[in-house]
Amino acid sequence: MADEIAQPLPMPDLDIEDELPPPPQQARKFDRSIVEGPLARAVWKIAWPAVLTNLVSGLQGWVDQIMVGNLIGYQANAAIGAAFQIFLLVITFVGSIFIGMSVLVARFTGANDHEKVNRSVYQGFITAIFISLGILAPIGYFASPWLLSVIHAAPDVQVEALPFLRIMFTCSLGMLIYFMLSGSLRAAGDAKTPMVLGVVMTVLNLGFNIIFIRGLGPIPSFGTAGAAIGTCLASGLVGIYSLYKLYNGSWVVGFPKSGYAPDWKVIKKLFKFGLPAGIQGIAMNFGGVLMYGFMGGLAQGEATQAVYAVAYSQLFLLVTWSSNALMGASGAVTGQNIGAGHPDRAVRGVRTAAGFGIAGALFVGLFFFFMPRQLLAIFGMTDPTVVEIGVQLLRVLSVSGLFISTALAYTGGLQGSGDTKSPLFISIISQVVIPVGICAVISRVGTLQPLHIWLAILAGHVTRAVLSVSRFLQGRWRAIEVDIETTAA
């Protein structure tokens, strides 16, 4: 009996490679430290490349404003500021698809599901391309003159802003691809690749701007329009390279090897989670356009708009770009940890991201408060009236940055969990109703001044921080389900 038990059982003749399913090709590419390692390191791992990328990318706008401000005048500063406010309405709506895509990518990355990650990326890509090229770009091109008149841009400002705006509307495909790629890679835990691409795009943009704004050799000076040409050329080249890398599958996310037709079930999920974020962005930028209109109606309207274009739309980027990077990190950490079954860890991750944001805003705020004139002079702003208005704004923003950095970190937590509706309502209240309402009331009962507008912006940021923190701590996001069907393959 013992001999019979000791005999090995006969095994069928199996071809292991034919019978067993192949292992996932990208299984080792997902960074599991985000759901398993120290939280501060996980947040910082995603945040610091994004912060650096956004700060370096912000140099593009700085160079544009510095060059046109010194070569053309502050009217050109106001023109780029006005055109970019309008362009953001379009680019933000299209980018909402990428928010929905990032929600799916982060959740499926946490669950270690590569097939669903790649399907989400591809469906987000084709949807955004159709919307941007087929709908928003042509409408934006023909509506540009009317849009500039809505914000009360001065006639000489409109002359400079119109060609800039039309070029940005029609040639922004590369920029959209970069935004799509950056969001999906960060949601999957890879923030270094977008950083490298962002630095390359910035360097290319700097070179193209020098050539097309000033002119070089046989290339004439395009002035303000040259800034748009440089931006679109640089982002277009990076976009072409990114599509190649996504197709060959060498990054942590990529395009699927099959199933290139639109998948309406996935697209529906993208809109479900992304559309509220898109409407939120439109509402916020629409509020900015309305505020820009209040500025244009002031006795010193042109100078106020120029200050806003430089101090808020450029210098304040030192706070908002870094805070947006932390918002992305907060969303990725939240989504991945929920997908991995660690919601309490997600809460701690958001709190960590907010701490980083407050520290950065405090550091930048010291320069805004104590060195406002020196910062404005970099952009060629030396007119006494302009400088006086700019000093007021920068000192208000030195306080405002603390609240907006907190708000964005908790917004990232809400969006990463799949709750994209709450930030929408919070933004409408804090970025539209409150600041626009304050300015409207003051205009009706008294004389609106630049300082009143700056304080209204501060009131909106304080409100947004309070509402965002309160909503996240309620914890209702824990019950949100994020999933798509698995394909037959």
DSSP string, 7-48: SPPP-----HHHHSPPPPTTTTTS-THHHHS-HHHHHHHHHH
Among 154-158, 209-213, 215-219, 237-241, the range with the most confident prediction by mean pLDDT is: 237-241
Answer whether residue 15 is part of any domain. Answer: no
Answer whether residue 212 is part of any domain. Answer: yes
Answer whether residue 484 is part of any domain. Answer: no
Task: Give the burial string for 408-421 (b: 16+ CB within 10 Å, else e).
Answer: bbbbbbbbbbbbbb
Answer whether residue 207 is part of any domain. Answer: yes
The whole-number pLDDT of residue 133 equals 85
More confident residue, 400 or 71: 400
Domain hosting residue 239, numbered range: 39-479
Angle at 269 between CA 264 and CA 273, to 5 degrees: 150
Answer whether residue 352 is part of any domain. Answer: yes
Rounded CA-CA distance 249/222 in Å is 39
Which residues contact residue 363 at a Cβ distance below 8 angstroms, ignoring those fewer than 6 apart? none
pTM of structure: 0.80
Which residues contact residue 437 at a Cβ distance below 8 angstroms, ignoring those fewer than 6 apart? none
The whole-number pLDDT of residue 62 equals 67
Segment 438-456 mean pLDDT: 95
Answer whether residue 334 is part of any domain. Answer: yes
Number of domain units in the chain: 1
The 3-state DSSP class for residue 316 equals coil
Q: Identify the CA nearest to 298 among candidates 308, 287, 284.
A: 308
Rounded CA-CA distance 193/178 in Å is 11
Tokens 């919601």 sit on residue: 343
Rounded CA-CA distance 459/254 in Å is 42
Segment 250-264 mean pLDDT: 88
Answer whether residue 126 is part of any domain. Answer: yes
Rounded CA-CA distance 274/420 in Å is 7
Share of the chain above pLDDT 90, in %: 48
pLDDT digits (tens, 9 = 90+) for 320-367: 888 988 999 999 999 999 999 999 999 999 999 999 999 999 999 999
Q: How confident is the model at residue 7 (pLDDT cuts 50, 70, 90)?
A: very low
**Ramachandran area for residue 481 (φ above 0: left; ψ -120 to 50: alpha; else beta):** beta
Answer whether residue 27 is part of any domain. Answer: no
Rounded CA-CA distance 328/332 in Å is 6
Which residues contact residue 378 at a Cβ distance below 8 angstroms, ignoring those fewer than 6 apart? 62, 66
Kindly tell me the sign of the dihedral angle through the C-alpha atoms of 24, 28, 30, 35: positive
